Amino acid sequence: MSDINSSQQKRALTASTVAFTTCFAVWTIFSIIGLQIQKDLHLSETEFGLLVGTPILSGSLIRLMLGIWSDQYGGRIVYLMVMVTAAIATFLLTTVETYTMFLVTALGIGIAGGSFAVGIAYVSRWFPKEKQGTALGIFGLGNVGAAVTKFVAPFVMVAFGWHAVAQIWAAVLLLMAAVFWFVTDDEPMLKQRRESGVKPESFLKQLEPLKDMRVWRFSLYYFCVFGAFVALALWLPRYLVGAYGFDIKSAGMLAAAYSIFASLFRALGGWLSDRYGARLLMYWTFIVASICTFFLSYPPTDYIVHGSKGDIAFSLAIQPMGFIFLVSVLGLFMSFGKAAVYKHIPVYYPDNVGAVGGAVGMVGGLGGFLLPLTFGMLNDLTGIWSSCFMLLFVLMTIALSWMHFSIVRMERRVVPELAKISKDLHELSHPAPLVLTDWNPEDQNFWEKTGKRIAARNLWISIPALLLAFAVWMVWSVVVINLPSIGFKYTTNELFWLAALPGLSGATLRIFYSFMVPIFGGRRWTTISTASLLLPSLWIGFAVQNPETPYVLMVVLALLCGFGGGNFASSMANISFFYPQSQKGTALGLNAGLGNLGVSTVQFVVPLVIAAGVFGSLGGEPQEWVKGAVTKSIWLQNAGFIWVPFIIATSIAAWFGMNDIASAKASFKEQAIIFKRKHNWLMCWLYTGTFGSFIGYAAGFPMLIKILFPDINPTQYAFLGPLVGALIRPVGGWLADKLGGAQVTLWNFVIMICAVFGVLHFMPSSGNPGDFWGFLAMFMLLFITTGIGNGSTFRMIPVIFMTERLCAAKGQGEEAIAKAKKDAAKEAAAVLGFSSAIAAYGAFFIPKSYGTAISMTGTPDAALYCFIAFYLACIGITWWNYARKTAAMPC
Residues 657, 661, 665, 671, Cα dihedral to 10°: -90
**Angle subtended by helix axes 99-109 and 30-41, to nearest 10:** 170
Range with the poorest average pLDDT among 434-448, 778-792, 827-841 = 827-841
* Structural contact between residues 344 and 203, judged by C-beta atoms closer than 8 angstroms: no
Residue pLDDT, tens place only, 538-594: 888 888 888 888 788 888 888 888 888 788 778 877 887 888 877 776 787 788 778
Measured CA to CA, the distance from residue 18 to residue 130 in angstroms comes to 23
The number of beta carbons lying within 10 Å of the beta carbon of residue 528 is 17
Q: What is the pLDDT of residue 425?
A: 38
Query: Which residue type, as a one-letter code, is found at position 299?
Result: P
Q: Please state the rounded mean pLDDT for residues 181-190.
A: 81
Range with the poorest average pLDDT among 205-214, 291-300, 624-633, 773-782 = 205-214
- Judged against a pLDDT cut of 80, whether residue 492 lies above it is answered with no
Range with the poorest average pLDDT among 88-97, 739-748, 843-852 = 843-852
The strand pairing partners of 307, in sequence order, are 310
The number of beta carbons lying within 10 Å of the beta carbon of residue 385 is 18
823-861 burial, b for 16+ CB within 10 Å, e for fewer? bbbbbbbbbbbbbbbbbbbbbbbbbbbbbbbbeeeebbe
- Judged against a pLDDT cut of 80, whether residue 642 lies above it is answered with yes
Measured CA to CA, the distance from residue 851 to residue 858 in angstroms comes to 9
- Judged against a pLDDT cut of 70, whether residue 672 lies above it is answered with no
Mean pLDDT of the chain: 81
Q: What is the pLDDT of residue 433?
A: 60
Measured CA to CA, the distance from residue 37 to residue 35 in angstroms comes to 5
Which residues are CB-contacts of 183 (< 8 A; sequence separation ≥ 6)? 11, 15
CA atoms within 13 A on the CB side of 376: 27
Annotate 846-869 with DSSP letters as a single string.
Answer: HHHHHHHHHHHHSSSHHHHHHHHH
Q: Per 3-state DSSP, what percentage of the chain is helix, strand, and coil (rounded to 5)? A: 80, 5, 15
Higher pLDDT, 219 or 425: 219
Portion of the chain with pLDDT greater than 90, in percent: 10
Higher pLDDT, 81 or 618: 81
- Judged against a pLDDT cut of 90, whether residue 750 lies above it is answered with yes
Residues 267, 270, 274, 279, Cα dihedral to 10°: 150
Max avg pLDDT among 263-267, 626-630, 706-710, 750-754? 750-754
- Judged against a pLDDT cut of 50, whether residue 430 lies above it is answered with no
Portion of the chain with pLDDT greater than 70, in percent: 91
Instruction: Using pLDDT thresholds of 50, 70 and 90, give the confidence band for residue 757.
Output: very high
Range with the poorest average pLDDT among 410-414, 436-440, 619-623, 823-827 = 410-414
* Structural contact between residues 832 and 691, judged by C-beta atoms closer than 8 angstroms: no
Instruction: Using pLDDT thresholds of 50, 70 and 90, give the confidence band for residue 853.
Output: confident
Q: What angle do CA 561, 566, 572 make, to 5 degrees?
A: 140
What H or E segment, with its residue span, contains residue 471?
A: helix 452-474
Measured CA to CA, the distance from residue 304 to residue 767 in angstroms comes to 70
Which residues are CB-contacts of 772 (< 8 A; sequence separation ≥ 6)? 709, 712, 762
Q: What is the pLDDT of residue 83?
A: 92
Residue pLDDT, tens place only, 575-589: 878 888 777 767 877
- Judged against a pLDDT cut of 60, whether residue 635 lies above it is answered with yes
Residue pLDDT, tens place only, 13-49: 888 889 988 998 888 888 788 878 888 888 876 677 6
Q: What is the pLDDT of residue 421?
A: 47
Instruction: Using pLDDT thresholds of 50, 70 and 90, give the confidence band for residue 778.
Output: very high
Q: What is the pLDDT of residue 87?
A: 92
* pTM, rounded to two decimals: 0.55
Strands 660-661, 435-436: pairing is parallel
* Structural contact between residues 702 and 722, judged by C-beta atoms closer than 8 angstroms: no
3-state per-residue secondary structure call for 201-259: CCHHHHCHHHHCHHHHHHHHHHHHHHHHHHHHHHHHHHHHHHHHCCCHHHHHHHHHHHH
Annotate 321-342 with DSSP letters as a single string.
Answer: HHHHHHHHHHHHHHHHHHHHHH
Residue pLDDT, tens place only, 657-666: 898 887 665 5
Q: What is the pLDDT of residue 426?
A: 40
Residue pLDDT, tens place only, 319-349: 777 788 888 888 888 888 887 887 777 777 7
Measured CA to CA, the distance from residue 127 to residue 138 in angstroms comes to 12
Q: What is the pLDDT of residue 427?
A: 36
Instruction: Using pLDDT thresholds of 50, 70 and 90, give the confidence band for residue 822.
Output: confident
Question: 246 φ, ψ to 5°?
Answer: -70, 150
Range with the poorest average pLDDT among 308-322, 631-645, 780-794 = 308-322
- Judged against a pLDDT cut of 90, whether residue 736 lies above it is answered with no
Residue pLDDT, tens place only, 761-771: 898 887 788 88
